[in-house]
Chains A and B, each alone.
Chain A
Amino acid sequence: MARETLIPAERDLDTIDIDVNVGPQHPATHGVFRMVITVDGEVVRDLDPVIGYMHRGNEKLPENCDFRQVIGYHDRTDYLAQFNTEHCWVEAVEKLGGIVPTERSQYIRVILAELNRITSHLMFFGAFGTDAGLFGTSFMYAFRDREYVQEFFEEITGERMMYNYYRPGGVAWDVPENFKERCNQILDRIRSGISDLEGLMIGNEVVLARCRNLSPMTPEQAINWGLSGPLLRSTGLAHDIRRAEPYSIYDRFEFDIPTGTTGDVYDRLLVRLKEMTESIRIVEQALEKMPEGPIMAEGMKRILRVPAGEVYMRVESPRGEYGVYVVSTGVDKPYRHKVRGASFCNISALREMSVGHFVADVILILGSTDIVLCEVDR
């Protein structure tokens, strides 16, 4: 039996569409995103995303900063995947300056970046459950496990949110002695947390009814809109920069790239859930192979001057391709600094994904793109 949206073909009464302003102060907009939706009853006829409320000049400000000071600004672009964004920046500087980071620091970076991917996806599941109408339950469950990892990050970096820990050539300081034991503890916690979330959300009949076949994307559409990350992989394309263009030491680990089939909202959930498991695998392998040794490359100057040139470095952040384009003129500051935010590109497809759906579905679709407004507006 074909299900169709319940829209009468002919109307007896003349109706008018009304514009509803969702955001920037709205529980479902994940920050200060605003969208003007034109609704005809419950059906969204048009959608106009309005961004820029969080613009802080995060691309221009670093052009007046030392190469190492810029790390802090990358914490603030994607505040849910700080280690991933820092990773991108330090890799870019190393690529440009020909700096080879030490082995141990590379392992530390990968472990922390993968754990950060897990915290980001946990945050997604919490927020998505709230969008879907769970009265905060998914949020509290996801945050319980996220908190363990967050505390671990705090032990290492001394910060809860803006870690500022990676450095060109290595990391700022060595990890505590009980690093491996703590990591294993946390992985156990996360495993049980993932199965909790799976029981709460993935198998839930209401989630199944709401999310499956909602707003499917084809791989062609996804490529045309420049989608990346879980949104792209949910359409069935196994494109992951960790595999397609390995950076750091990702070529040494075995992991699968989870993909969906139809690219609907449910596939996006599943892909993120499986990615957490894959991240656990990577962390386990990295912990096994992690060598002792120095954490900072030899001969790093106090003031870092990288040779003139330009570079585009991209990493796989939890939201997709996070890239940074740097031009150096040989002085101690970047001449041009441009960020390619995954959220910004993913949100551009929102209108295409949403028009014609119900108001309630648009909230779910927006939630499933997992945007971080700081990364969109920069």
Chain B
Amino acid sequence: MLLAISSNPWLDALVRLGIVALLLPVGVIWLTWLERKVIGRLQQRLGPMRVGPYGLLQGIADTIKLITKEDVRPVTADRWVFELAPFVIVVPVIMALAALPFTAEILVRNMALGLFYIVAVTGLSIVGMVMAGWGSDNKYALLGAVRAGAQLISYEVPLILTAVAVAMLAQSMNLQAIVGAQHDTPFIAYQPLGFIVFSIATLAELYRQPFDIPVAESEVVGGATVEYSGIRWSMFQLGEFASLVLFSVLGSLIFLGGWTWPLDPDGLDGSIQALLMVVKVAMFIIFFMWMRGSLPRLRIDQLMALCWQVLLPFTLLQIMINGLVLAYDWPDWTLTALSGAGAAAMIFVVYQAARREGVPLAPSAGPQRVGSVL
């Protein structure tokens, strides 16, 4: 595979990153097709069927359309902020991909602190969203960007803490070592609670239903990207789907056992490893698309409440459980039992909260402006 491209490490890394950057748009074009197909099937439609067999070339047709479209910039937009924002969104994702191994051999760089680096770098893309919202000089975009900021900063916290829990178990931040630690049992079996929190936080990070509040079509009409068109808009799309892949691969690595489990890691050659990863990543991606097709959207205060009142305490609980089990050297099954009980408790809390007869949400009294805007 990609074992040794060059003896010069810098050149080697550059070539590998170049290959990733080239493959990314192709993958994203295909993923948009897949998403339209999956959601189409969920909605009893066929999805795209006209361009190519089963609409397979639809993504390419869309890309051609987007490239040839006029690139409109509002007159009142803050020019450089507006024009740089799409790149600020995409670059962190590609930076994160530089540290993300797909299999033991297909990778750009094996970093000792790979997990730490990835969660640190992906958090940067929020800057791009806020830049887009601010630079567009559009109220919808501003609302969307403020929502995106609040949401991303909140959900980074449980996401990072689940990564901490994983690192505790694996005793390493190196993704290769984390995968190696799971060769007989994946971490999802040891910490189902952490896995559920990770999945929910990832949905929020990717702005997917039920957390698509920053890009809500029926409220802020696409949020920060509302003024973008043509190739600039497709950069946002690229960033969105690239992070979808990124988080799916990350989830497969740190919870589903990556390229080792359930097969014997020693006798595996590269293509079987890759196949195993493709299956696991596809499970994540289909799960995200499935959520998009079947759940409505939460409100911003409910989103915050879920994050700070449910996800965060339960993630801390997971870390505590891990710490106890590791410190006192309890058997492995206690970890599974405690974390499973925690997961059940979390699901119960959310289930009860959704069905609780709350106090009617009365309109808040406040200074109201008299007279009409017209």
Q: Is A209 an interface residue (CB 8 A)?
A: yes
Task: List A residues 1-49 near B (Cβ within 8 Å).
Answer: 2-7, 17-21, 26-28, 36, 38-43, 45-46, 48
Name the prevailing secondary structure of the B interface residues: loop
B103 CB to nearest A CB, Å? 33
Partner of B297, one of A36, A214, A354, A360: A360
B270 CB to nearest A CB, Å? 37
Q: Is B26 an interface residue (CB 8 A)?
A: no
A28 touches B218 (CB 8 A): yes
Tell me the complex Cα distance, A131–B187, Å: 38
Interface 1/0s, chain B 293-312, versus A by CB < 8 A?
Answer: 11111111110100000000
Q: Is B341 an interface residue (CB 8 A)?
A: no
A356 touches B210 (CB 8 A): no
Tell me the complex Cα distance, A139–B218, Å: 14
Q: Is B272 an interface residue (CB 8 A)?
A: no
Find the A residue at minimum CB distance from B216: A133
Which of A200-208, A297-305, A331-339 lies on the face that meets chain B? A200-208
B318 CB to nearest A CB, Å? 23
Partner of B300, one of A208, A213, A358: A358
Task: List B residues 136-184 near A (Cβ within 8 Å).
Answer: 139-140, 143, 146-147
Given known A28-B219, A133-B297, A204-B296, contact A36–B355 (CB-CB < 8 A): no
B285 CB to nearest A CB, Å? 16
By size class, the interface of chain B is 35 or more
Q: Is A216 an interface residue (CB 8 A)?
A: yes
Q: Is B56 an interface residue (CB 8 A)?
A: no
B298 touches A209 (CB 8 A): yes
Given known A133-B209, A141-B43, contact A206–B298 (CB-CB < 8 A): yes
Q: Is A355 an interface residue (CB 8 A)?
A: yes
Q: Is B232 an interface residue (CB 8 A)?
A: no
Contacts of A45 in B (CB 8 A): 366-369
Given known A19-B373, A27-B221, A358-B299, contact A216–B360 (CB-CB < 8 A): yes
Find the A residue at minimum CB distance from B365: A356
Q: Is A361 an interface residue (CB 8 A)?
A: yes
Q: Is A210 an interface residue (CB 8 A)?
A: yes
Q: Is B4 an interface residue (CB 8 A)?
A: no
Q: In the complex, how many residue pairs between chain A and chain B have their CB atoms under 8 Å apart?
A: 152
B354 touches A205 (CB 8 A): yes
Q: Is A130 an interface residue (CB 8 A)?
A: yes
Contacts of B221 in A (CB 8 A): 26-27
B44 touches A2 (CB 8 A): no
B362 touches A356 (CB 8 A): yes
A316 CB to nearest B CB, Å? 28
Tell me the complex Cα distance, A231–B283, Å: 43
A207 touches B360 (CB 8 A): no
Tell me the complex Cα distance, A355–B300, Å: 17
Partner of B364, one of A36, A50, A356: A356
Q: Is B374 an interface residue (CB 8 A)?
A: yes
Partner of B143, one of A134, A136, A359: A359
A50 CB to nearest B CB, Å? 7
Task: List A residues 322-378 near B (Cβ within 8 Å).
Answer: 354-361, 363
A133 touches B373 (CB 8 A): no
Q: Is B277 an interface residue (CB 8 A)?
A: no
Contacts of B45 in A (CB 8 A): 140
Partner of B43, one of A28, A48, A137, A208: A137
A360 touches B219 (CB 8 A): yes
Find the A residue at minimum CB distance from B218: A28
Q: Is A212 an interface residue (CB 8 A)?
A: yes
B261 CB to nearest A CB, Å? 32
Contacts of A130 in B (CB 8 A): 217-218
B252 CB to nearest A CB, Å? 24
Given known A209-B354, A360-B213, contact A5–B297 (CB-CB < 8 A): no
Tell me the complex Cα distance, A6–B300, Å: 10
Tell me the complex Cα distance, A132–B374, Å: 29
Find the A residue at minimum CB distance from B222: A27
A360 touches B43 (CB 8 A): no
Tell me the complex Cα distance, A212–B297, Å: 14
Interface 1/0s, chain B 330-374, versus A by CB < 8 A?
Answer: 000000000000000000001101110111111111111100111
Find the A residue at minimum CB distance from B364: A356
A264 touches B296 (CB 8 A): no
B353 touches A209 (CB 8 A): yes
Tell me the complex Cα distance, A361–B302, Å: 12
Contacts of B280 in A (CB 8 A): none
A132 touches B293 (CB 8 A): no
B contacts, CB < 8 Å to A: 39, 42-45, 139-140, 143, 146-147, 209-210, 212-213, 216-221, 292-302, 304, 350-351, 353-355, 357-369, 372-374
Can you list 30 A-B contacts (CB < 8 A)?
Answer: A3-B358, A5-B301, A7-B366, A27-B217, A36-B374, A38-B373, A40-B366, A42-B143, A45-B366, A48-B374, A132-B218, A133-B210, A134-B209, A134-B295, A136-B39, A137-B39, A204-B296, A205-B354, A206-B210, A206-B298, A208-B354, A209-B299, A213-B358, A213-B361, A214-B361, A355-B363, A355-B368, A356-B366, A360-B297, A360-B300
Apart from A17-B369, A21-B139, A131-B218, list 18 A-B contacts with CB within 8 A. A6-B304, A20-B143, A26-B221, A42-B143, A42-B301, A45-B368, A46-B369, A48-B373, A50-B374, A133-B217, A133-B295, A134-B295, A206-B210, A206-B298, A209-B353, A216-B360, A264-B360, A359-B220
Q: Kindly list the 10 A-B residue pairs having the minimum CB-CB distance in the complex, ordered from nearest.
A: A133-B297, A356-B363, A140-B43, A205-B354, A132-B296, A28-B218, A133-B296, A213-B360, A356-B364, A36-B373
